[in-house]
């Protein structure tokens, strides 16, 4: 509990057997009421490791029968968290790329009632490049973020982080089922949240790039970037009052993806 609100941490997992325990171990003690690991058909022992850890942490394990993609994994995560009575839901990647020790800080931004959505930004400060983010990813992140801010009328440092906290109201009100099952789900959710007037805040979070940390390749990054631009244009349409919803990427959606961040 935090500020008398139930905190559920969801971990969308894909081949996270080597890093899951380390991730959980560094989350502040007694902060999270429940952890939910959703495995998206990993080829390693992620499920076995997660089940073994459930004796040490309040942890629920869900396993997809087929790969549903990064967005599809999040849909399962959020539905499961809401069914458990979560009032604040934090998404933390189990690959230890984001700093688990800051889960309390990002949770409090929402639990305090100041923000509806909180993002752990790799771009605020100098953490991204120092943490090993490839230069081409950093540059594309900055360009996409600049364009997205311009089109939808926001001012975030990045839209592509996999460290996020939401109030239950946000997850209940947004049409999550209508969003992509692919990576662009993240952007659709944020654009729709902005269009609907939810308050979005950020904190600086260091990141780590190493062999076990997940990352999508250049080809899929290009596809993701095109999806982001399409999503941003839909946000502009909604901002101008010409459409009812943002967060639509049409032909850029895909049923294939593994649970990796950008």
- Tell me the per-residue pLDDT of 24-42, one tens digit each, with 9 for 90 and over: 999 998 899 999 999 999 9
Element (H, E) at 59: strand 59-63
Per-residue pLDDT reduced to its tens digit, 120-144: 999 998 778 888 888 888 899 999 9
pLDDT of residue 162: 93
Rounded Cα distance between 156 and 218, Å, is 24
Q: What is the pLDDT of residue 224?
A: 81
Rounded Cα distance between 232 and 82, Å, is: 28
Q: Please measure the distance between the N-terminal and C-terminal CA atoms of the chain and give it in whole angstroms.
A: 30
Whether the predicted model's global pTM rises above the 0.85 cut:
yes
Length of the chain: 262
Q: What is the pLDDT of residue 29?
A: 82
Q: What is the pLDDT of residue 261?
A: 47
**Six token digits for residue 69:** 């993609």
- Among candidate residues 207, 205, 208, the one with its CA nearest the CA of residue 124: 205
Give me the pLDDT at residue 257, please: 42
Element containing residue 186 per DSSP (H, E): helix 185-195
pLDDT of residue 125: 80
Which pLDDT score is estimated for 132?
82
- pLDDT, position 254: 36
Helix (H) and strand (E) counts in the chain: 9, 7
Instruction: Give the residue ranges of the chain where pLDDT is below 50.
Output: 244-259, 261-262
Ordered structural domains, the chain, with CATH: 7-137+160-214 (3.90.550.10)
């Amino acid at each position: 509990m935090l500020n008398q609100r139930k905190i559920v941490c969801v971990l969308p997992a894909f081949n996270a057997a080597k890093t899951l325990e380390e991730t959980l171990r560094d989350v502040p003690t007694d902060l999270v009421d429940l952890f939910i690991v959703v495995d998206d058909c990993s080829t390693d022992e992620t499920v076995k490791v997660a089940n073994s850890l459930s004796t040490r942490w309040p942890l629920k394990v869900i396993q997809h029968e087929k790969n549903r993609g990064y967005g599809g994994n999040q849909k399962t995560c959020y539905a499961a968290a809401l069914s458990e009575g979560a009032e604040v839901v934090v998404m933390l990647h189990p690959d230890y790329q984001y700093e688990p020790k800051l889960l309390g800080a990002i949770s409090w931004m929402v639990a305090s009632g100041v923000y509806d959505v909180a993002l752990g930004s790799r771009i605020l400060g100098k953490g991204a490049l120092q943490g090993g983010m490839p230069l081409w990813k950093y540059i594309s992140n900055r360009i996409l973020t600049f364009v997205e801010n311009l089109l939808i009328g926001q001012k975030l440092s990045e839209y592509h982080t996999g460290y996020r906290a939401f109030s239950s109201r946000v997850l209940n009100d947004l049409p999550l089922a209508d969003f992509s099952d692919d990576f662009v789900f993240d952007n659709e959710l944020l654009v729709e949240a902005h269009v609907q007037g939810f308050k979005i805040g950020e904190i600086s979070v260091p990141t780590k790039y190493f062999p076990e940390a997940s990352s999508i390749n250049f080809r899929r990054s290009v596809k993701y970037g095109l999806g982001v631009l399409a999503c941003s244009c839909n946000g502009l349409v909604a901002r101008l009052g010409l459409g009812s919803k943002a967060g639509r990427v049409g032909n850029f959606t895909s049923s294939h993806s593994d649970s990796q961040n950008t």
